[in-house]
Structure 1
Amino acid sequence: MNKVALVTGSARGIGRAIVLALAQRGFDVAVHYHTSALEAEQTRQEAEQHGVQAIKVKADVTQEHEARALIAAVVEQLGGLQVLVNNVGDYLKKPIDEVSPKEWRRIIDSNLNAPFYLTQAALPYLSQSGYGRVVNIGFAGAQNLLARPDITPYVIAKTGLVIYSKSLAQRLAPKGVTVNVVSPGVAENSVSKPLDKIPMGRLASLEELARAVVFFVEENSAYLTGQVVEVAGGWNL
């Protein structure tokens, strides 16, 4: 029986690359979306071509009850859950003194609260399997605690996600569940592309980001937990 993976925000972009990489490696996958129904169906069909089960599930994961319902739907339709990749996270580039309370809440909700809701709901199933994997998608440089006045709420949320991930990793290690973070730098689908600030002089491909997630998910990575891998070409060090 195949292991089951849920990747949030996987209709397109980084999430799509991750869900397809997992399907290629024999995982049954759940393609999550909120508004991109057509793209989610296209991704689901492409995943299915790898000979695995693939479903698509709609949810606003910033709402606790919808996050819990999403986990329940995946378990019901695919028979369990071994891998959770928290990829959903809105981005906002705006001077901090101009950010509205509504914008602040949206960024914190999608980047920090949603992973918390989903992971809490998934823990019973991850712990049962003896092979639980949680991979959270962070942001390169979020651990450095530097002022970022144009993306402050985003960086605060991603820094909090690192602390949450490390704390959870310690708690879940005795149960065989690992929790790690993959932190992208500037990728090919990024909103802004400051190529001149990237030491390697190029953007990250979505496939490179997906491979880092797969690395943490693999069976031979069972002793790696609480770690952060930055896929950033030397940016934001």
Structure 2
Amino acid sequence: MSKVALVTGSAKGIGRAIVLALAQRGFDVAVHYHTSALEAEQTRQEAERLGVRAIKAQADVTEPHQAQALVAAVAEQLGGLQVLVNNVGDYLKKPIDEVSPEEWQRMIDSNLNAPFYLTQAALPYLSQSGYGRVVNIGFAGAQNLLARPDITPYVIAKTGLIIYSKSLAQRLAPRGITVNVVSPGVAENSISKPLAEIPMGRLANLEELARAVQFFVEENSGYLTGQVVEVAGGWNL
């Protein structure tokens, strides 16, 4: 029986690359979207052409009940859930003293609360399967406690995501469920592209990020948990 993977925010960008990489490895996949219905359907069709079952599912995962309903719907339609990739996460570049309460809340909701809601909902399915993988998408440099006045709420949420991931990894290890973080640096679809700051002198391509996720999802990676891999070409070290 094929394993099932849910990748949030997978209609386009990094999420799309991840969901297609997993489909290439034989995973049945759920393409999640919030507002990008057309792109989600295109990605779903691409995944299906790779010979797997592929569905699309809409939800605002910053809402706990919608996140729970999404996980339940995917498990019901595809017959379970073994892999959850928490990729959704808004980005805001704005001086911290100009950030509104609504913007602050949006950064925390999408980058930290949504992965919590989704993972909590997915745990019963992951536990039942005897094989569980959670991969959270972070941010290169979030482990370093440095001042980042232009992206403060975003980095706070991503640093919190690392602490959450490590804590959950320790808690779930006895069940054979792994929890890891893949932290992108500056990718080809990034809003800000400070190329001069990247030691390797180029942007990350989306397939490189997807391969890191794929590595953690593999069956023979079952002893790796609570780890953070930065796909960043030496940026933010």
Q: Same fold (TM over 0.5)?
A: yes
Q: What SS class does the counterpart of residue 136 from structure 1 fall into? A: strand
Q: What SS class does the counterpart of residue 143 from structure 2 fall into? A: helix
1:86 matched to which residue of 2?
A: 86
Q: Deviations over 1:47-94 (max 9, x none)?
A: 001110000000000000000000000011000000000000000000
Please report how far the alpha carbon of residue 99 of structure 1 lies from its aligned counterpart in structure 2 after TM superposition. 0.1
Q: Deviations over 1:13-72 (max 9, x none)?
A: 000000000000000000000000000000000000111000000000000000000000
**Alignment TM-score, normalising by the size of structure 1:** 1.00
Aligned length: 237
State how far apart, in whole Å, the 1-side matches of 2:23 and 2:46 are: 9
2:214 matched to which residue of 1?
A: 214
2:10 matched to which residue of 1?
A: 10
1:235 matched to which residue of 2?
A: 235
Q: Deviations over 1:117-169 (max 9, x none)?
A: 00000000001111100000000000001000000000000000000000000
1:58 matched to which residue of 2?
A: 58
Q: Deviations over 1:164-201 (max 9, x none)?
A: 00000000000000000000000000001000000000
2:123 matched to which residue of 1?
A: 123
1:151 matched to which residue of 2?
A: 151
1:1-237 paired onto structure 2 within 5 Å: 1-237=1-237
Amino acid at match of 2:70: L
Q: What SS class does the counterpart of residue 46 from structure 1 fall into? A: helix
Please list every run of 5 or more consecutive structure 1 residues that lacks an aligned counterpart in the other structure: none
State how far apart, in whole Å, the 2-side matches of 1:145 and 1:137 are: 18
State how far apart, in whole Å, the 2-side matches of 1:68 and 1:39 are: 23
Backbone CA RMSD of aligned residues: 0.3
- The share of aligned pairs that are identical, in percent, is 89
Please list every run of 5 or more consecutive structure 2 residues that lacks an aligned counterpart in the other structure: none
Amino acid at match of 1:87: N
Amino acid at match of 2:100: S
Q: What SS class does the counterpart of residue 230 from structure 2 fall into? A: strand
